[in-house]
């Protein structure tokens, strides 16, 4: 009885840490979970997963905004680092939905759209490596290879820079790596027609659509 009550208290602390965008509290709650010996996979699902999904939904309804979404995602990341270490040490693993490397293409300094997509993917269970802005084709590919990524996601906000998305696809083709990744493109000037033209695997108009697309196309990128 006491053990069950202690477990529920830890789950509550984990949920509140995310709801309060508090990385330190998330880390602390995760440490408590590890120390208490409870099932850590259950802790992930009942502690962190629910509130982070709700944050994503609240962001979509514009009840919260980018800073809160990012702080919530960072809090979850902080807590998950603790849980992952313990789970891995115990011989287990946390199944992320998939691994994404994401960035804004070369010559383009716009980061917000890409940052929103990264935060929402993370909130929805993907392991996300945000490379930042002005990312060259070779850096995208190096990062995807070294992270054993499933998905390469590229943003371009300008008509003048979207052609660098083509370069990434072309370079992947040259290296015979194109089939290894699901290539997702987005950004204000980008369209489905452009994605088709350059041979990308998917196009998303917005962050939520990116999550939905990857979820729905899982069979085409899961390894």
Partner 1 sequence: MNFKEIAKRGETGPLSEANDFLMKRVSANVLKLEKKYRITWDGKTLINLDDEMADRCWQAGRELLLASGIFGMNSKRIIEFSAEEVDEALRFAPAQLPMGQGKDAVTAHHRQVEDPRLPFIFSGPFNADTSEEHFVKLNEAFAQERLIDSLLFPGYLKKLDGQMIRPTSGLASRAAMLYGQWSREAVRRAGRPGMPITGHAVMALNEIACTNEQWGLRSTDPRAMVLISELQVDDVTMTRLAYYLAYGCPIYMSFTPLIGGYGGGPAGTAIAAVASFIAAVVLGGEIVHIGPQHIKFKQQTNMHSLFLAGLVNQAVARNSNIIATTSHTTSGRPGSEQYAREFSALALTAVTSGSNVTGPRPAEPLGFNNVSPLMARLFAEVSHAAAGLKRSEAAQIVAKLYETYKDKIDLQQAPKGRAFEELYDLQTLRPTSEHQALYDRLKEELSSLGVPL
Question: Residues interacting with partner 1, by CB under 8 A?
Answer: 60, 62, 65-67, 70-71, 107, 109-112, 116, 132-133, 158-161, 163-164, 166, 188, 205-206
The DSSP element (H or E) to which 29 belongs, if any, is helix 23-36
Nearer to partner 1, 60 or 145 (CB): 60
Within 13 Å of residue 132, how many CA atoms lie on the same side as its CB? 5
| Strands across the sheet containing 151-155 | 127-135, 99-105, 151-155, 182-186, 202-203
- SS3 assignment, position 25: helix
On whether the CB atoms of residues 134 and 90 are closer than 8 A, the answer is no
Nearer to partner 1, 3 or 66 (CB): 66
What's the rounded Cα separation, in Å, for the pair 4 and 48? Answer: 18
**Residue 189 Cβ vs partner 1, minimum distance, rounded to whole Å:** 9
Nearer to partner 1, 9 or 109 (CB): 109
Nearer to partner 1, 86 or 163 (CB): 163
**Residue 191 Cβ vs partner 1, minimum distance, rounded to whole Å:** 9
Cross-strand pairs, 129: 101
**Residue 102 Cβ vs partner 1, minimum distance, rounded to whole Å:** 14
What's the rounded Cα separation, in Å, for the pair 121 and 73? Answer: 10
Nearer to partner 1, 127 or 161 (CB): 161
**Residue 91 Cβ vs partner 1, minimum distance, rounded to whole Å:** 35
Nearer to partner 1, 50 or 206 (CB): 206
**Residue 161 Cβ vs partner 1, minimum distance, rounded to whole Å:** 6
- SS3 assignment, position 133: strand
User: What does 202-217 look like in DSSP terms, one character per residue?
Assistant: EE-SSHHHHHHHHHHT
**Residue 114 Cβ vs partner 1, minimum distance, rounded to whole Å:** 12
**Residue 80 Cβ vs partner 1, minimum distance, rounded to whole Å:** 19
Nearer to partner 1, 7 or 166 (CB): 166
What's the rounded Cα separation, in Å, for the pair 83 and 68? Answer: 23
On whether the CB atoms of residues 83 and 34 are closer than 8 A, the answer is yes
């Amino acid at each position: 009885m006491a053990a069950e009550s202690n477990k529920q208290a830890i789950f509550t602390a984990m949920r509140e840490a995310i709801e309060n965008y508090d990385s330190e509290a998330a880390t602390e709650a995760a440490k408590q979970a590890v120390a208490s010996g409870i099932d850590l996979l259950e802790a992930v699902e009942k502690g962190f997963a629910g509130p982070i999904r709700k944050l994503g939904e609240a962001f979509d309804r514009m009840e919260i905004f980018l800073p809160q979404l990012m702080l919530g995602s960072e809090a979850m990341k902080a807590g998950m680092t603790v849980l992952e270490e313990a789970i891995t040490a115990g011989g287990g693993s946390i199944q992320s939905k998939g691994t994404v490397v994401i960035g804004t293409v070369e010559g383009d300094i716009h980061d917000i759209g890409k940052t929103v997509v990264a935060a929402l993917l993370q909130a929805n269970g993907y392991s996300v490596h945000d490379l930042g802005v002005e990312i060259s084709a070779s850096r995208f590919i190096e990062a995807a290879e070294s992270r054993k990524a499933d998905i390469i996601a590229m943003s371009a906000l300008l008509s003048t820079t979207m052609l660098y998305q083509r370069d990434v696809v072309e370079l992947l083709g040259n290296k015979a790596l194109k089939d290894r990744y699901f290539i997702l493109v987005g950004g204000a000037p980008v369209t489905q027609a452009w994605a088709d033209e350059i041979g990308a695997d998917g196009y998303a108009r917005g962050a939520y659509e990116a999550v939905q697309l990857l979820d729905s196309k899982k069979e085409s990128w899961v390894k």
